[in-house]
Each structure stands twice: as structure tokens, then as C-alpha cells.
């Protein structure tokens, strides 16, 4: 008879502390939300410049990072509800009719076509001292596979300082690409990974800007 395994046994996250992921091997990760750019709308010269800067960014790093994407169907319901709330306060009957027609158009359009919201993230790792090397599986780039000790609050503070230096290097390199970054805090990380490990359990994370892009 197979022994029942708790779901959390498959989750490599040990805890989330002060905006830092601490994994079960005690390595650490900081997650950055990164803005995007529409490469296809750029001129040939602009594309070449972006590729050159991106190459320089990657070559400037002396540590590994992981770039990953979350793609989810766009939740249009809050926007439609906002429009619905405006109708009772409108004094112009024609404007009310047009608003209702617009709401119905948006609702029908989004039900007919899958409009996806894509969010980009970068995972920046730090491995504190006392490492025992090992290999991870599919998530090895994000979650690692080494054994590390964090024995005190002082160890955590020192390791977090080292991690923040690496994050600063990544942010600086991305700014040269005209990309903005937002480090995720504790609540945002909890929500992000809840959605990641429960893909059918909810909509896109609410902390990701819905109406105003980062760039």
C-alpha cells in the first residue's frame, strides 16, 4: 500500500522571510517582477541595440539566474464591474445605453477569445557557505539542489545582504535595457506561488498591475 504524501512535500519552499524565499536546502532566492517590451514594434537598429545590451547583461553576470513566465487568462471582471458601477450615476440616457453595449461587447469578446496576461519574473539565487553539492530536477534552476546551513538570524541577515547585492546587479543590467523591476515582498511571493502551484485555483495574482504597465 502506497504511503500518502502531503502536498507540501512536493513544494521546495521552506519559508518566506522578509521578502526572501528560503528553500528546503536553505539556499535563498529573491524574485523580481520585470516589465516587458514589444520587440516586434522596434526598428531594426533598435532590435540590434536591445540584443547587444541583453548579451552584455548576460555576460556581466558571474552567477546564475532563471527567467520565467506566468501566462494566465486575463480577468476582465473587475474592469466590467467598475463600468457597471458608473451607470447609476450617469444622467445621460444615451451614455447609459452606450456603456451597457460596451460592457456586453467586452464580455462577449473576452468569452470568445482567450486574452492572456503574461508576467515575467527573474529568480536571483544565493547559496550561503557550507554547501554540499547535489543535483536538482526540473526546478533545479529555480530551487537548487544543495545543502546549506542557516543557523542564526545573523546568518540570515548576512546572507540576505549578499543576495541583495546580486539583485542590485541584475536590476542595473535590466535598466540598461529600459526594463523596470519590482522585488516581490512576502505577501506577493505567497500569492505568486499559491497561483503557481494551483493553476486551476484562481486568476492572475492581484498584485500584478492590471491597467497600467510597468514601462
For residue 2 the three cell numbers come to: 502506497
Mean pLDDT, the chain, whole residue set = 79
Let me know whether 179 and 87 are in one domain: no
Using DSSP's 3-state secondary structure scheme, residue 198 falls into coil
Q: List phi, psi (to 5°) of 162.
A: -65, -40
2 in any annotated domain: no
Q: Are 213 and 35 in contact (CB under 8 A)?
A: yes
204 in any annotated domain: no
CA atoms of 182 and 57, how far apart (whole Å): 18
Let me know whether 30 and 130 are in one domain: yes
Let me know whether 97 and 189 are in one domain: no
CATH code at position 162: 3.30.70
Q: Which domain covers residue 16, as residue numbers?
A: 12-72+116-197
The reported pTM is 0.67
CA atoms of 187 and 184, how far apart (whole Å): 8
Q: How many CB atoms lie within 10 A of CB 160?
A: 20
Question: So what's the pLDDT on residue 57?
Answer: 92
Question: So what's the pLDDT on residue 171?
Answer: 94
Residue 87: pLDDT above 60? yes
Question: So what's the pLDDT on residue 137?
Answer: 46
Amino acid at each position: 500500500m502506497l504511503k500518502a504524501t502531503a502536498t507540501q512535500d512536493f513544494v521546495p519552499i521552506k519559508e518566506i522571510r522578509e521578502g526572501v524565499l528560503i528553500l528546503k536546502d536553505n539556499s535563498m532566492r529573491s524574485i523580481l517582477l520585470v516589465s516587458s517590451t514589444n520587440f516586434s514594434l522596434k526598428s531594426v537598429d533598435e532590435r540590434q541595440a536591445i540584443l547587444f545590451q541583453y548579451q552584455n547583461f548576460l555576460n556581466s553576470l558571474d552567477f546564475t539566474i532563471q527567467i520565467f513566465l506566468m501566462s494566465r487568462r486575463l480577468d476582465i471582471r473587475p474592469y466590467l464591474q467598475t463600468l457597471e458601477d458608473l451607470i447609476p450615476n450617469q444622467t445621460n440616457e444615451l451614455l447609459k445605453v452606450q456603456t451597457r453595449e460596451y460592457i456586453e461587447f467586452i464580455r462577449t469578446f473576452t468569452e470568445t477569445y482567450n486574452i492572456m496576461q503574461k508576467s515575467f519574473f527573474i529568480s536571483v539565487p544565493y547559496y550561503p557557505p557550507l554547501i554540499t553539492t547535489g543535483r536538482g530536477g526540473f526546478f533545479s534552476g529555480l530551487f537548487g539542489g544543495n545543502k546549506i546551513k542557516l543557523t542564526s538570524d545573523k546568518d540570515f541577515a548576512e546572507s540576505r545582504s549578499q543576495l541583495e547585492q546580486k539583485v542590485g546587479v541584475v536590476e542595473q543590467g535590466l535598466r540598461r535595457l529600459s526594463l523596470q523591476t519590482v522585488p516581490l515582498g512576502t505577501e506577493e511571493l505567497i500569492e505568486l506561488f499559491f497561483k503557481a502551484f494551483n493553476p486551476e485555483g484562481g486568476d492572475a495574482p492581484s498584485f500584478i498591475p492590471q491597467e497600467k504597465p510597468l514601462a
